[in-house]
Structure 1
Amino acid sequence: MLTGCGSSNEGAADADTNAKTDAEATDAEATDASTDDKTANAEGGSVYYLNFKPEQDPQWQELAAKYTEETGVDVTVVTAASGEYETTLMSEMGKSGAPTMFQVNGPVGLANWKDYCYDLKDSAIYGELTNEDFALKDGDAVAGIAYVIESYGLITNKTLLEKAGYTIDDIKSFADLKKVAEDITARKDELGFAAFTSAGMDGSSDWRFKTHLANLPIYFEYQADGIGTTKEIKGTYLDNYRDIWNLYINNSTCDPAELAAKTGDDSRNEFLAGQAVFFQNGSWEYGNLTADGTFTDDDLAMIPIYIGVGDEANQGLCTGTENYWCVNKEADEADIQATLDFMNWCVTSDEGTKAMGEDMGFVIPFKNAVESRNLFVQQDKEMTAEGKTPVSWNFSTMPSEEWKNGVGQALTAYAADQTDDNWEAVRSAFVDGWKTEYELTSQE
C-alpha cells in the first residue's frame, strides 16, 4: 500500500488510481515567480518522490507543497507501506510516470537499481555533503546521496524505570539489563507494567528484530574478524542474539505465542500507555512519542542494546544510515533537473533544512544542516563525545530481503515454541540463508 499526497497515515493508504494519477499528472511549468535560477532550467519538469519512511510522510507532504507554492514545480510524494518499499519500487518503476527520486539502502540495494541511477557527481547536492563518505558510489559514479543519519536503541520510560527502583545508570551491560527486566517481570502485577513492549513480528514491526536487532551479532562478528562485509557469515554471536531475543519475548506485555500478529502500532501504543519500560526503536520515533505531550524529554532516554559482547561500558547507540537518495536517469531530462533542484533545495534552503532537522527530526549530513532538537539525536552525540563507540549499521551488507524474511519467520516460530531445535532453524536461516542468498544475488 502507498500513502499519497495529503495523507498522515503511516503508509496505510491504498495504492489507488488517484495516487498514481497525481504522479502522472505532474507536468506543471515552473512559474515566472521562481527565485531559483536552477529551477528555471527545470521548466516543464516535475518531481515524483517515492518515500521510504512512513513516519515522516506528513512532513514530506507539507514540504512538497511549500516547494510547489514557491517555485511552481509540481512535487508528488508517495510513501510506501512499512516493509514494502522494494516491492513498491519495482512496481512503480515498471509504469509510465515512474518515480524520479527514490532510495536504496546501500551497496546491496544499489546492485538492483544501479542501471537506473543518474550520476550525481556533478550535482549541486553532492557538493553540499559534509563528507564525501556519505555518497554511495558505483565505480567513479555517485549513484546515491545519504540524506539522514539515525540512531536506534532501547527507548526507555525513565519514570517507570524509577518506579521499579532503578535508573538508566544501573544499566551498563546485558547482565544489568537482564537483572532489571526479570525483576520487573517478577513484580509485574504489583508494578502494573512490563519490561518490554511486544516484539511484534507483523510486517509493520518485524524489521526491528530481523534487521535492526540482527545487526548486533553481525556488527560484532565484523569487528572481531576485521571485515566490513562477507559472503559467508559465521554466526559467531548468535547465542547472544538468542539471549537478547529471549529477554525481549519473555519479559514483555504479551505471551510470546501472540507475537506473530502484533504490530508496530501495538508496540508504540503500549509504550505510550505506560505499559512497558523499554521499546526498541529509533530516533525517528521521537515525534510520535512527544507530539501530543504524552512524554517530555525528561521522561525519556535511549540506551544501547546490550547483547553481552565487547566493551559494553563503552558501547554507544546503533548509528548510521540505510537511506540514500537516487535520481532516475530514465526520467525525462526536465524531470531529472526538477528533481535535482528539489533535492538541493531540501538541504540548503531555510524551509527545507528546518523541515528535515526540526520537523522530521533528522540529522542530515549537509553543510547547511540545522541542529536537531530530537532528544535521542542529542543523546547519541553526548555518548559519542564521552568516548562511547557507536554500533555501525550493517544492514546494507545483508544479502537480500529474502534473507531477512527467513530470519524473521524463524524468530517468530521460535518465540511460539522456544526449543533448541527451533533456535537451530534461526541459526540455519541466518548462516546458511546468508550464503544461499549471496550466491543467488551474485548470479542475477
Structure 2
Amino acid sequence: MKMKKVTAMGMAVLMAATMIPAVPAMADDAGKVYYLNFKPEQDEDWQNLAKEYTEETGTEVTVVTAASGQYETTLQSEMAKSDAPTLFQVNGPVGLKNWKDYCYDLKDSDIYSQLTSDSYSLKDGDAVDGIAYVIESYGLIVNKTLLEKAGYTLDDIKSFDDLKKVADDIQSKKDDLGIKGAFTSAGMDGSSDWRFKTHLANLPIYYEYKEDGIDDTDAIKGTYLDNYKNVFDLYITDSTCDGSELSAKTADDSRNEFVNGEAVFYQNGSWEYSELSKTFKDDELAMIPIYFGVDDANEGLATGTENYWCVNKNASEADVKATLDFMNWCVTSEAGTKSMAEDMGFTIPFKTAEAPSNVFVKQDAEYTEAGLTPVSWNFTTMPSEEWKNTLGSALTAYAAGSGSWDDVKSAFVDNWATEKALSE
C-alpha cells in the first residue's frame, strides 16, 4: 500500500504539471491567489492549505505544481498568460536575474517584518524582491535497521573512507542481506538528476569557495572534482542497478527502493521526511553528511535555501494584496505554521515558526550544536540551468561507460566560464 501511495503522488504531481488548469475567473474587484509551487513533494500539502485558507477567508487560492526539473520552463509559460501566477519562486541571485522585472517590492510587507534575519531576503539594491520561506538540509538518508543488519552503526561512518568501506562491504553481501544495493539508484532522469548535477555538485563548489575565501566566481577551478568523482563512483558501483540503467531511473524509483528496504543509503533531503515517515519510525531513520574526504571531521549536513517567494508586480492591486495576505497567513497563523512544520516538515525563517517534528531537521540542529559546520548552499551561484543540464548529460554518459570523467570536468569547469560570460 505504501508503494502505491508514493507512485500515486508522483503521478498526481506530473498531471498537475503537464495539465495546467485554467485559473478560475472571479469578479474584477475580488483578489485571488495563483501560486506556482516549486516543490512536487509538497503538492498535496499546499493544496490542503490553500483549501483551508479559502474556507477561512473566502479568498480563492489556486496552487499549481510544476514537474520536478521543469519549474523554470513552466514559469515562463505561465507568466505569458493573462492569468499569470501571482506568487512564484526564484532559486537565488542567478534565478532572480530572469525575473527581477516581475518582482513586487516586499520591503513594506507584513511577511518581510516577520523574518528572523534579513539574510533570508533576496535584494536588488534597496528593493526586497524575494523572501526565503524554508530552510532545508540534505545528506545521506540511512535505513538504520538495514545498516545494523549489515553489522554496522552510524558510529562506524565518520568519513568518506568509512562510508566507502561500509558501502563496499554491504554491496558485496547484498544477496545475503536481501537487498539490491548499498545506495538507491542515482537516477539521471529529469525528476532525479538534480540530486547529482546540483546538490552533489554543490560540495566541490563549497570547498573551493571556502578555500579561496569567496562566495561566487566567473571561473571555477574544479579543485575538488576528484572528491566529486569518488562519491559519484560510489553511488554508481554500490548501487541497486547498473550504471547503464541510470538515465531512465526516476526520483520515484529511488524513493521506492529505499521505502521497500532495497538499499541502505539514499541521497536526499529533509523534504522527504513526510513521505518516509509513512513507512518508517523516527528511530529507524537518520541523515548523515555526504562525506567528501576534505574536512570530514567537521562537516555537517548541507543546509540552506534556494526557495524564495516572489510576488508578481504585474498582477492586479487586488491580487497582489490577496497574495501578500496569504503569504503572511502561511507563516503566522496556527494553521499555516502547523502545516509547514508538521505536514511539509519545513523549518521556516519567521518569528512565529513552529518547531517541526521532522527528524532530519532535528539532526541538523544536533550536528550544529555539536560543533560541526553546515555545508552552505552555493549551487545558487551555478551559472545557468544549461550549465546544470550539460553537467547532468556528462554524468549520465560517464555512469553508462560511454563518456569519460574528463568530459565531466569540462562540463563543470569550461562550461562554467562559458555560461557565466553569457549571463553578463
Matched residue, 2:376: 392
Kept in 2: contact 1:45–1:337 (CA 8 A): yes
Kept in 2: contact 1:8–1:57 (CA 8 A): no
Kept in 1: contact 2:10–2:252 (CA 8 A): no
Matched residue, 2:3: none
Matched residue, 1:37: none
d(CA) in 1 for partners of 2:249, 2:343: 28
Kept in 1: contact 2:17–2:67 (CA 8 A): no
Kept in 2: contact 1:28–1:46 (CA 8 A): no
SS at match of 1:346: helix
- Residue 240 of structure 2, aligned match among 253, 268, 272: 253
Matched residue, 2:53: 67
Matched residue, 2:409: 427
Q: 1:174 to 1:28 in 2, by over 3 A?
A: farther
For structure 2, the residue ranges without an aligned partner over 5 or more in a row are 1-8
d(CA) in 1 for partners of 2:375, 2:119: 17
Matched residue, 2:231: 244
d(CA) in 2 for partners of 1:82, 1:279: 18
Alignment of 1:302-317 (within 5 A): 302-310=287-295, 312-317=296-301
CA RMSD, Structure 1 to Structure 2 (Å): 1.5
Matched residue, 1:131: 117
Alignment of 1:256-275 (within 5 A): 256-275=243-262
Alignment of 1:203-222 (within 5 A): 203-222=190-209
d(CA) in 2 for partners of 1:79, 1:371: 26
Cα drift, residue 20 of structure 1: 3.1
Matched residue, 2:313: 329
- Residue 113 of structure 1, aligned match among 83, 86, 99: 99
Kept in 1: contact 2:184–2:257 (CA 8 A): yes
Q: Deviations over 1:164-205 (max 9, x none)?
A: 111011100000000001111111222222210000000010
SS at match of 2:105: coil
Alignment of 1:338-417 (within 5 A): 338-417=322-401
d(CA) in 2 for partners of 1:176, 1:296: 26
Matched residue, 2:421: 439
Matched residue, 1:281: 268
Kept in 2: contact 1:10–1:55 (CA 8 A): no
Kept in 1: contact 2:188–2:247 (CA 8 A): yes
Cα drift, residue 11 of structure 1: 2.3
Partner amino acid, structure 2, of 1:130: T
Matched residue, 2:21: 20
Cα drift, residue 290 of structure 1: 1.2
Kept in 2: contact 1:153–1:304 (CA 8 A): yes
Kept in 1: contact 2:34–2:63 (CA 8 A): yes
SS at match of 2:130: strand
d(CA) in 2 for partners of 1:385, 1:16: 43
Cα drift, residue 367 of structure 1: 0.5
d(CA) in 2 for partners of 1:435, 1:52: 28
Runs (4+) off by over 2 Å: 7-11, 14-17
Task: Tell me the percent identity.
Answer: 70
Partner amino acid, structure 2, of 1:13: M
Cα drift, residue 391 of structure 1: 0.2
Q: 1:74 to 1:354 in 2, by over 3 A?
A: same
For structure 1, the residue ranges without an aligned partner over 5 or more in a row are 1-6, 30-42
SS at match of 2:14: coil
d(CA) in 1 for partners of 2:61, 2:174: 50
Matched residue, 2:182: 195
With structure 2 as the length reference, what TM-score do the two structures score? 0.96
Please say if 1:160 is aligned against 2:149: no
SS at match of 1:153: strand
Cα drift, residue 9 of structure 1: 4.4
Matched residue, 1:11: 13
Partner amino acid, structure 1, of 2:145: T
SS at match of 2:123: strand
Alignment of 1:286-305 (within 5 A): 286-291=273-278, 294-305=279-290
Matched residue, 2:6: none
d(CA) in 1 for partners of 2:236, 2:18: 37
d(CA) in 1 for partners of 2:77, 2:24: 15
Matched residue, 1:32: none
Partner amino acid, structure 1, of 2:280: F
d(CA) in 1 for partners of 2:175, 2:312: 55
d(CA) in 1 for partners of 2:145, 2:27: 52
Cα drift, residue 16 of structure 1: 6.5
Partner amino acid, structure 1, of 2:329: W
Q: Deviations over 1:243-292 (max 9, x none)?
A: 0000010001001111011111110010011110000000000111112x
Q: Deviations over 1:308-355 (max 9, x none)?
A: 112x11210000000000000011111001100000010011111111
Cα drift, residue 28 of structure 1: 5.5
Matched residue, 2:172: 186
d(CA) in 2 for partners of 1:331, 1:398: 30
Partner amino acid, structure 1, of 2:191: S
Partner amino acid, structure 1, of 2:413: V
Cα drift, residue 307 of structure 1: 1.4
d(CA) in 1 for partners of 2:74, 2:415: 24
